[in-house]
Structure 1
Amino acid sequence: MDNKTRILIVDDDENICELISLYLEKEGYTTKTVHHGLDALPAFKQFNPALVILDLMLPGKDGYDICKEIRQVSDTPIIMLTAKGETFDKILGLELGADDYMVKPFDNKELTARVKAVMRRLSPKEDRSRQVTLPGLVINMNNYTVTFHGEKMEMPPKELELLYYLASNPNHVFTREQLLDRIWGYEYIGDTRTVDVHVKRIREKISESVEWGIKTVWGIGYKFEVK
């Protein structure tokens, strides 16, 4: 069954789940709600969603553990939705594999816009030129794959898009704000350390070579250096 419009909502507040479902279903998405942490992973495997909206404070199992479990089996995008708005909580969520982070109370229109942005990135692209090939590295945006020295790397969409954007603009220096605007596709409300977290995760998976690498430009941002 096609999963392109299915969204799993995990939140113990039934009213919030109902509100999110209402807004998303008006946009043509199919939703499923889960209210207990222990039910999240079984529901994820059964429902096979294209995206997960995940609360952190849940009975039985918290959202951090659920995020880690999902990342062990899937790169499906995850938007964390939580009342915990401290920078530490945001960074931890991103480091565990979340793609985005929204703090309650939230604006339904903004949440819908973020969901749409993720879903657009998952849509098939007809442009066959959306590929960067370097020694030992192939980044293909047509099928959202990264191959490193012949091995396919597991990489969530935001990481892949950031890597592709940097690599497709070699030796160009971007500020963190520019990268947030380009990759996230909206006025991002949050800490620019989001970019740092994603770069760190990319570097952990793909070590730079003598010919290329993501370089930190201190006081400014990042560039993909190609020699």
Structure 2
Amino acid sequence: MNQLTDTLKFPHVSETQRANLKNYLEQNNANGFEGNSGIVKGNCLEFEFDFNPKSDVLEINPKIYPENLAKLSPEIRNKAAFRLISNIMGGSGALNAMVLASSNGYPSHPGKYGVYDYVIPYIVNSSGLDFTFSSQSMDHGTVSSNLSTVLNTSSTDSVELFEADSSKLSGVGVGGTVVYQWGDGQTIITIQFFLNTMFTHSFTVGAKGPAASKLKIVITKNSPVVSGYTYLDPVITITPA
């Protein structure tokens, strides 16, 4: 956790929106959001707040930011924090029910409390054969879900390949290796990734084996976005070379 000072101003805040924020904070063991002013303290944050009932303006002055936001530049950090709090007050509970313009076109993102970094690749497999999950090895964080079989398709629609999350309240990000085997039983596809805020990230895909030279691998949308938490949603397209 890092001590910082920024002031976030939220205009036209209703009683319902304040109640949504209060409920979210209490559900995540952060207490003190009572009345029109005070200090909220939780496991990974602390902020002062002041609500003006005449103008309906809520001011939040963070004193301690979670590790993932504290590492960002002030401009990006303020935008990320403002959007996260706005989403919570809007009744989303976090970000996972929101359609975000910055989410690379995908309809939702997870928003697990204290989990700051997410790598969620998508894949279009038009290689001619199916892929099957082989193994995974994590340096930081966990793989919370993965697709066991990636079917060959003529469609250009992508499917979610896996979701990798940083550990709760971790400041070291998420990183590891996931391996799939091509349908010939000998060629493997290795995916290596790392994400720790939008300024430190990598995502690579490589093929090794008899058919490696016959596969063309293209990665698009390979830049993270910050929407409260940090997300990397690359799209892997595999076709015959």
TM-score (norm 1): 0.31
Structure number with the higher strand fraction is 2
Q: TM-score, normalised by structure 2?
A: 0.30
Q: Which has the higher helix share?
A: 1
